[in-house]
Amino acid sequence: MAVLAESGSNPDVELLYDINGLAKDAPHWFDRVMEFVGEYGLLLAMVLLILWCWWSVRRRGGEDAAPSVAALVWAPLAAGLAVLVNVPIRGFVERPRPFVDHQGLDVLVGGKTDFSFVSDHATITMALGVGLFVANRRFGLAGIGLALLEGFCRVYMGVHYPTDVIGGFALGTAVVLLLSPLAMALLTPLMRAVERSPRAGRLVRRRPAADAGRDTLLPGTRTSPETEERDLAA
């Protein structure tokens, strides 16, 4: 009750204490796991998910390969752009970290001296998740789920308010969706050009075995007459 009295009637602060209070009751090893997951693990998992999606799109091929790969390229670009947009937002709001103004929090990671609103981790992971959703809904839903877990971890660790996380989710989503038409209009033709390349095209779509065999033919070499006759007959 003392914590609630200290936080007043602010639901943002009350929810902060409720979620961070789970860290106090958890075993020490679990807090260390949450610290790694919230700081690095989920970002790494998101990168691996994007690579998995790219590999799946590349293997499947088809006419949608180039637009899907373009969306996957846009996802990290949008995440980086969202972080840049957050720089003036943080400077304008200048909200201190929650442990600066509120006592009794179990802070799992130290060294956080910058401002709190909005959360960079929440911004990045949600931008990547929504970008994945543009490329592939199944992978995108998994990515958005990881982003939601990232937001929970940031509050659990005591380094962000819940509204910092919500603001990061909104910023990451807005940057991806608002600029997606322009980004796709620029990146899709580029990916189609890459797809037509004899060598770089493998980054967009897996080449059939017959085409791969032709690509490895050395310049100046000729096929045998029997092979040419088979090709003509086909």
pLDDT of residue 208: 57
pTM of the model: 0.81
Structure tokens at 159: 């380094």
pLDDT of residue 207: 61
Residue 16 three-state SS: helix
212 within domain boundaries = no
pLDDT of residue 107: 87
DSSP secondary structure code for residue 168 in this structure: H
234 within domain boundaries = no
pLDDT of residue 198: 78
The upper half-sphere exposure of residue 195, i.e. CA atoms within 13 Å in the direction of its Cβ, equals 22
183 within domain boundaries = yes
188 within domain boundaries = yes
DSSP secondary structure code for residue 218 in this structure: P
Residue 1 three-state SS: coil
C-beta of residue 139 within 8 angstroms of C-beta of residue 154: no
230 within domain boundaries = no
9 within domain boundaries = yes
Dist. CA 176–CA 179, nearest whole Å: 6
221 within domain boundaries = no
Nearest to 169 by CA among 146, 200, 187: 146
Q: How many domains does the chain have?
A: 1
Domain with 110, as residue range(s), is 2-206
CATH number of the domain that residue 48 is part of: 1.20.144
Q: Which residues contact 47 (CB under 8 A, 6 or more apart)?
A: none
Which ranges of the chain have pLDDT less than 70? Answer: 1-8, 206-234
Structure tokens at 123: 């911004």
Count of Cβ atoms closer than 10 Å to residue 55 Cβ = 11
**What does the angle CA 170 – CA 175 – CA 178 come to, to the nearest 5 degrees?**
110
Task: For CA atoms 4, 119, 154, 96, give the dihedral sign.
Answer: negative
pLDDT of residue 106: 87
227 within domain boundaries = no
